[in-house]
Structure 1
Amino acid sequence: MKHFFEFEHYKTSYKQETLAGITTFLTMAYIIIVNPAILENAGIPRGASVTATILASVIGTVIMAVWARRPFAIAPYMSENAFIAFVVVKVMGYPWQVALGAVFIAGVLFTLLTVFKVRSWMAESIPMSLKASFAVGIGLFLTFIGLNETGLVVLGVAGAPVRLGNLSQPSVLLAVAGFMLVVVLMAWKVRGALVIGIIATTIGSILLGITPLPERFVSLPPPLAPIFLKLDIAGALTPHFFPIVMVIFIMAFLDTIGTLIGLSMRADLLDENGNLPEIERPMLADALATMAAPLLGTTTTGAYIESAAGIEEGGRTGFSALVVAGLFALSLFFAPLFTIVPPHAYGIALIVIGSFMIRPISQLNFDDFTELIPAFLTIVLMIFTYNIGVGMTAGMITYVLLKVCTGRSSEVKAGMWVLALLSISLFVFMPKM
């Protein structure tokens, strides 16, 4: 096992990788509850959706662990599930079966593009300034999510769009205490600081009566039959549904590239040219998982940015992803236990992660506006639109435009032209509401 996952090469160990896997799982276990709750708005039965969510996460993460051997967990994407539930089904009126058919078609396209190395060709054409901005943007995006989940930052009622949360609220005070515990432990270089902080905050939340104990800790997984193999591929291949297929495809395509590059940069997995060696492997894991998800009855899956939590705990190989997959598999029977972690507990880990992921900002050339402005827009729009894909598309489009307008189009690689066109097409095909 050590040889297979190259522990010696990555200077890691079973303990380090296991801690990393536990940390990643704890920060993303919410998906077991949240994804089915969102998809229920599309008419997908919640019980069956819980089982589909877990199985899709297990399948994708196992492929990532064993085939790609990277420390990235895979699960249903939050932005895509909301798009399908609230836009495609509720607003536009399409059946959820047709929407899942579109997800399957996107997965087939991902697989073909990956096998023929088109996706890796495009990923390697992205300039280092944008790659650095992906890492920084994802880090700050995670921090913003963490600030919201802990209640330290809330939506504003008037004037400013966001404001300071209620610091007298017990859950917020507990989050602050948990955050300080994690930071102090990290300053003392205590391994597992994030896990300790999450668990300590969860226990404190239970003791203070903020988080109730579940009625039971063990439960059988709900049957998958109501949604298994219910996708409608033929309905998704009709001309009037083509724009929806394109939006789902482009959103997931760009999200995956940005997430893989951003996480790999933080994990020091990029080579001297700023590329992830054998990037086709994690991309294929993502593609195959996206094909499996709609067959099971859930939406687009991909590499999760919460994997950054495990990376901060030292996760460098697929073994940590294997641990995540194992915990997801256990959650089929222990879902009430694993989902007891409250938002103000895992939120503190997301805040801490952001402080580590801003390091690549030092790689930006602040004297070259054709490099700086696209990177800047990528970072700020990821955060302020609450959407990684929007930030990436803005950065890619602006990068190409600035290079052309300053007579430096020769610096734009062929793959970047394709990515810029894909970015523009996202807004062209996006349904008008």
Structure 2
Amino acid sequence: MTTAAIDASRHITESQCPQPEKTGWIDRHFQLQAKGTHIRQEVMAGITTFLTMAYIIFVNPQILSAAGMDAQAVFVTTCLIAAIGSIAMGLFANLPIAMAPAMGLNSYFAFVLVGGMGLAWQTGMAVIFWGSLLFAAVAVFRTYIITSIPLSLRIGIATGCGLMIALVGLHNAGIIVATPSTMVTIGDVRSIPFVLGCASFLLMMVLVQRGFKAAVLISIVAITFVGWLLGDVEYQGIASLPPSIAPVFGQLDLMGALDISLIGVIISVMLVSLFESAGTFVAVTDKAGLADETGNYPNATKSLFVDSLSSAAGAFMGTSSVCPYVESATGVVEGGRTGLMAVVVGLLFLLAIFFSPLAGMIP
């Protein structure tokens, strides 16, 4: 066979053989092909997840302001720590799980530690800080802990936090008020906050039942607009440069929180954070097909370290404990399978920092 014939044969053979597809850094780091997904799918899943959990950037400042914290500063720190936690979860644990300040623990901080026990908010934040570091210390036992939490206990903790949040919401809207005879009673049904609160809840429920992924966010925006029309909301603008976080950043009373009487409270914060996080991690990774029948999932130890250290960083910055959000399951339903989805959520939280005037208008 001539040299020309050999070269022609080699050319035909190479053209017929499938060539390995070139992959970029994003594909290699997040293992997109291996997990049957692609960049566009992960981006859409991240946007969907952000829309379902964006309410936290409005709600968290209102709750923590009840403890005497600056609401505008907390708005910025809420966005910052949600961005840091979500991006870290995506980059280091490669899980489709977004992070943000926990609903439940923020109410516990504002209405129990500060409102009930009379702690200064600086001391209460330090309690969250030490509890988060304790959480990080026990994260090395993650396999035993996650598989040992009974399902009934996971459900009970989540239900208890939900009932507490509901009580706080009804009180803030004026739907229920305190009374000496029965502890709680119905509020003034003719007041604008009462009407707006009921309308917001009903609208939210209708949207949820109809499958709107941003039901909570749509309800907040719609009722804020109605409140503005009724004169209950003052227009403050839509976007601006971020407010200063100096009023809350690094203001912890670390030594004051180490008082012997608060040791049990620190342990309680650690346990609630651990149980809530473990349950959410297992639920979302199971939805994504990443967890086995015993609840083990990839990079579990890394995920708990990211969670606990993000909580400690959040407390130092001036916001309550950070946790994985079960709303991440909406992104999983949209096809999210990797940490790229969480990174997209984090980037969107960074953009949200510039919308603090809008947050200040929420009734």
Using the size of structure 1 for normalisation, the TM-score is 0.62
Indicate the structure whose relative CO is greater, using CA pairs within 8 Å and at least 6 residues apart. Answer: 2
Shift of 1:179: 4.9
Cα distance per residue 1:35-63 (max 9 Å; x no partner): 11111121111111111111111111111
> What CA RMSD, in Å, does the superposition of the two structures yield over aligned residues?
3.9
2:144 is equivalent to residue 121 of structure 1: yes
Cα distance per residue 1:325-362 (max 9 Å; x no partner): 011000111345689999xxxxxxxxxxxxxxxxxxxx
Contact 2:290 2:297 in 1 (8 A): yes
Aligned mate of 1:291, from 306, 312, 321:
312
Match in the other structure for 1:112:
137
The structure that has the greater radius of gyration is 2
> In percent, how many aligned pairs have the same letter?
35
Aligned mates of 1:172, 1:221 — CA distance in 2: 30
Aligned mates of 2:146, 2:308 — CA distance in 1: 15
Contact 2:236 2:360 in 1 (8 A): no
Aligned residues: 315
Aligned mate of 2:330, from 309, 313, 330:
309
Q: Quick one: structure 1 residues 98 and 33, their matched pair in 2 at CA, closer, same or farther if it must change by over 3 Å?
A: same
2:46 is equivalent to residue 37 of structure 1: no
Match in the other structure for 1:84:
109
2:117 is equivalent to residue 97 of structure 1: no
Aligned mate of 1:2, from 9, 27, 30:
27
Gaps of 5+ in 1: 150-154, 183-192, 343-433
Q: Quick one: structure 1 residues 274 and 266, their matched pair in 2 at CA, closer, same or farther if it must change by over 3 Å?
A: same
Shift of 1:256: 1.0
Gaps of 5+ in 2: 1-25, 170-174, 186-194
Match in the other structure for 1:280:
301
Aligned mates of 1:314, 1:113 — CA distance in 2: 32
Cα distance per residue 1:349-398 (max 9 Å; x no partner): xxxxxxxxxxxxxxxxxxxxxxxxxxxxxxxxxxxxxxxxxxxxxxxxxx
Amino acid aligned to 1:121: Y
Shift of 1:66: 0.6
Aligned mates of 1:279, 1:70 — CA distance in 2: 9
Using the size of structure 2 for normalisation, the TM-score is 0.73
Contact 1:138 1:262 in 2 (8 A): no
Match in the other structure for 1:263:
284
Aligned mates of 2:104, 2:121 — CA distance in 1: 16
Shift of 1:126: 4.7
Contact 2:57 2:359 in 1 (8 A): no
Amino acid aligned to 1:323: V
| Residue pairs, 1:45-56, within 5 angstroms | 45-56=70-81
Match in the other structure for 1:250:
271
